[in-house]
Amino acid sequence: MTNTTLHTDRNLWLKILIGMGLGIGLGLLLSPTSIALVDEYTALEFGEWVALPGIVFLGLLKMIVIPLIICSIVLGVTASGDLGFLKKTGFQLVIYFIITTFISIFIGVMVVQAINPAQYISNSFIEQTIASTDAPSEIFDKLSIPQRVENLLPVNFTEASLERNMLQIVIFSFFLGIIMLTLPKNRTKIFSDLCEFGQDACMKVIEWAMKLAPYAVFGLICNITIQIGFDTIAGVGAYMLSVMIGLLAMFGVYLIIVSIIAKRNPFEFMRSIRNTQIFAFSTSSSAATMPFTLKTAEENLGIDPKISRFVIPVGATINMDGTALYQAAAALFLCSLFGVDLSAGEIFLLMLTTVGASIGTPATPGVGIIVLATILSSIGVPPEGIGIILGVDRILDMCRTTLNVSGDLVASTVMDRLASKKA
Ligand code: ASP
């Protein structure tokens, strides 16, 4: 086991929060659709430049994500020591992920049914946004289940890393870890040492990147605020609010899980993960946040590394409760906007589809909405309807990614508790 530690500033969360606040403030001053201190061209140009530290920061994190996933999973699997432990934890984890994803989708459906945000949208807004926004051109392929299974297999590792197919990389790393377990120690030591070095090296890069974090967040949020039209937010405010209420409610469920199942103080838990949440919010990427999530799990929550190094990389890739909630809520909202009536059975089918869709959604910014386009076309909503929610997607992406990452940390505490009970 490595004793990798990451030295970060204890007040980092506060600095990041200040960066976020200042970024929003400056963005509002410059945004062409709010105070508009400068002309639109200058504002957009400025936004691009001010986001530069953020681009470098995200680049550094993206640079290490693949080696970190491989090293963490290999070390996690080998640290567990036996395949029996792995099978049991893996099985429990999959069941846990499916149950929480269902709860999350259920909350999304309930909130949209209760608020019915479609009733607050004006016809002129619908016409204007559909005409002026391009629907995502890249709609996910409709593949059969055997084809999907085939796509899970990392037949070509170079291709998997080129396309940043995290699920394939996770599966490949599991294979490596399991192979290590089945070979005599003297034959695997060299690779295990290499993985320990890889993990230490990645943590060093994160440590450097963290120094940039407050400036990065400031710039990224400022740029986004400049770009987002405030009339767009006003137009779909009720829909945004519904999704946000749903995400908050799911976070409430997490806290209940943390206190009842993981037997931890929920307030302490919230305090321990706030850095990571702010980070996920600012980057909109579970994958880019993963190194940090891992660190939070081990150092702030004291999770056994053999659990965290297994749960976090897998969770960051397939456990997306925020995305699932959002996809179900957005699909229902657009259905009622376009007069597509869904029976209770169809809503249930939609929930099932969303579980699969959220698992398949890559952990990077803005892809949840592309996967949503596929769900929409399967239930008869015109895909260009997505134009209506595209304008505010980035904000919701930030919120749902925060929940996605929190969900991975909750899952680690639960698995840690279950494993320690057995021990
Ligand atoms: N940005 C999300 C994530 O990385 C995925 C999504 O678009 O919903 O978790």
Please compute the mean of the pLDDT values over residues 200-223 and round it to a whole number: 88
Residue bearing the bigger pLDDT, 7 or 282: 282
pLDDT in tens, 164-180: 888 889 899 999 999 99
The span from the CA of 377 to the CA of 280, in Å, is 29
Beta carbon of 401 within 6 Å of any ligand 1 atom: yes
Q: Name the band, by pLDDT with cuts 50, 70 and 90, for residue 279.
A: confident
* Distance of CA 362 from the midpoint of ligand 1 (Å): 7
Cα dihedral sign for 253, 254, 260, 266? negative
Helices and strands, number each (H, E), in the chain: 19, 0
**Residue range 70-103, pLDDT digits in tens:** 998 898 888 877 788 888 888 999 999 999 999 9
pLDDT at 7: 55
pLDDT confidence of residue 131 = 63
Contacts of residues 226-230 at CB distance under 8 Å and 24 or more positions apart, as own/partner, are 226/27, 226/30, 226/31, 226/32, 226/43, 226/44, 226/46, 226/47, 227/31, 227/44, 227/47, 227/394, 228/31, 228/33, 228/391, 228/392, 228/394, 228/395, 229/33, 229/391, 230/31, 230/33, 230/34
Pocket lining: 275 vs ligand 1, CB cutoff 6 Å: no
Dist. CA 404 → ligand 1 center (Å) = 8
Instruction: Report the percent of the chain where pLDDT is more than 70.
Output: 92
pLDDT at 96 (0 to 100): 95
Give pLDDT, residue 414. 97
- Alpha-carbon torsion 53, 55, 56, 61, what sign? positive
For residue 147, what pLDDT is reported?
A: 75
| Mean pLDDT, the chain, integer | 86
Give the span between the Cα atoms of 32 and 189, in whole angstroms: 59
Does ligand 1 have an atom closer than 6 angstroms to the CB of 192? no
**pLDDT score at 248:** 98
* 2 has a pLDDT exceeding 70: no
Q: Is the CB of 286 under 6 A from ligand 1?
A: yes
Ligand 1 centroid from CA 226, angstroms: 21
Measured CA angle at 277 (ends 274, 278), to 5 deg: 90
323 lines ligand 1 (CB under 6 A): yes
- Over the stretch 306-353, which tens digit does the pLDDT of each residue have? 899 889 988 998 899 999 999 999 999 999 888 888 888 888 888 888
Q: Separation of 288 CA from ligand 1 center, angstroms?
A: 10
Å from CA of 365 to ligand 1 middle: 5
The pLDDT of residue 292 is above 90: no
**Ligand 1 pocket member 363 (CB < 6 A):** yes
**CB-ligand 1 contact for 368 (6 Å cutoff):** yes
The H-assigned helical ranges of 164-304 are 166-182, 185-227, 230-235, 237-260, 266-283, 286-295
pTM of the model: 0.85
User: Which atom of ligand 1 is closest in space to residue 320's alpha carbon?
Assistant: 9
Segment 372-384, tens digit of pLDDT? 887 887 787 877 7
Residue 3: pLDDT band with limits 50, 70, 90? very low
Tens digits of residue pLDDT in 102-154: 999 999 999 999 999 988 887 777 776 666 655 554 445 566 667 777 878 88
Q: How far is the CA of 422 from the centre of ligand 1 (A)?
A: 34
Q: Which atom of ligand 1 is nearest to the CA of 287?
A: 4
Lowest-pLDDT range of 67-71, 121-125, 300-304, 410-414: 121-125
Which residue's alpha carbon is at the smallest distance from atom 1 of ligand 1? 365
Phi, psi of 103 (to 5 degrees): -60, -45
Of 388, 398, 397, 396, nearest to 134 by C-alpha is 388
Ligand 1 atom with the smallest distance to the CA of 366 is 7
Q: What is the pLDDT of residue 268?
A: 96
